[in-house]
Amino acid sequence: MTFYQGIAEGLFFAFVILVVLGSLITIRAKMLMKTVLGLAVALLGVAGIYFYLGSMFLTLMQILVYIGAICIVMIFGIMVGYTPTEVAEKSIKDWRNKFLAVSSAVTAFLLILVCVLKTHWVPAVAGNRDFSAVHLGHEFLYTYCLAFELISVILLIAIVGAIILARGGGAKTAVDLPAEKKISAVREEKGETSV
């Protein structure tokens, strides 16, 4: 192992530790703000893992999209939604939930670990080893065009739906609006049944 390989391994372990620490903060923190900050740390570690898996583009997208956008959206949700002290006390509440969480997590971990270690993974015949963003963009716009279009449509629908949900609150009916009230008042004066 050369000197540079040693540095690379050390960095890899640093990223793994970031992922593990961030996940532990995420699932153990009592304050919701710390939960989201722990998520940001874990996602930074995952970005480093993507770098070691050969994709510089995905590393940057992970930092941009996850840490830059999703975490900020969650922090907005926290700031608008609640007062921190009330949730802090009951974030880790009863032993039944904790028992369920630990047992299901340990069971899933052991089952999948056995699958991972017992399986003999066979690599495919090496064809193209081009990890560049140019190749990725070419594949996105030609072979996987449907995925590309689908994601844009999904994002559009999600944004419009989010605006409608967050603005209206779901409680208003047409009668509550001022213009509709006027119309129904005029109709009642004339003796018509309101809609």
Partner 1 sequence: MILISHHLSTYLILGVFLLIAGIYGLIQHKSFIGMLVSTELILNGAGVNFMAFNRFLAPDPAVGQVITLFIMGIAAAEAAIVVSFILAVFRKYHSIDPDEVDELHG
Give residues 100-119 in contact with partner 1 (rule: CB under 8 A). 100-102, 104-106, 108-109, 112-113, 116-117
Among 14, 166, 177, 186, binds partner 1 (CB under 8 A): 166
Residue from 5, 2, 3, 140 nearest 61 by CA: 140
Q: Does 180 bind partner 1 (CB under 8 A)?
A: no
Nearer to partner 1, 60 or 183 (CB): 60
Task: Looking at the chain, list the stretches that DSSP marks H as alpha helix, in order from N- to C-terminal side.
Answer: 3-28, 32-52, 56-61, 71-81, 84-90, 95-118, 133-141, 145-168, 178-190
> Which range in 28-36, 177-185, 187-195 contacts partner 1 by CB under 8 A?
28-36
- C-alpha dist (Å) from residue 121 to 29, 43, 53, 115, 175: 37, 27, 17, 11, 63
Applying CB under 8 A, among 7, 14, 149, 161 the residue interacting with partner 1 is: 161
Tokens representing 140? 């996105």
Residue choice 7, 17, 97, 185 for contact with partner 1 (CB under 8 A):
97
Smallest separation, CB 185 to partner 1 (Å): 28
175 secondary structure, DSSP code: G
Least gap, CB of 177 to partner 1 (angstroms): 18
Nearer to partner 1, 27 or 183 (CB): 27
- The answer to whether 49 and 56 are in contact (CB under 8 A) is no
Q: How far is the CB of 175 from partner 1 (least distance, A)?
A: 19
What part of residues 40-69 is at the interface with partner 1 (CB under 8 A)? Answer: 42-43, 46, 49-50, 52-55, 57-58, 61-62, 65-66, 69
Measured distance between the N- and C-terminal CA atoms of the chain, rounded to whole angstroms: 81
In the complex, minimum distance from the CB of residue 173 to partner 1, in angstroms, rounded to a whole number:
14
Residues numbered 118 to 157 that lie near partner 1 (CB under 8 A) are 121-131, 135-136, 138-140, 143-144, 147, 150-151, 154-155, 157
Q: Is the dihedral of CA 130, 135, 140, 141 positive or negative?
A: negative
| Residues sharing a CB contact under 8 Å with residue 19, sequence separation 6 or more, in sequence order | 42, 45, 46, 49
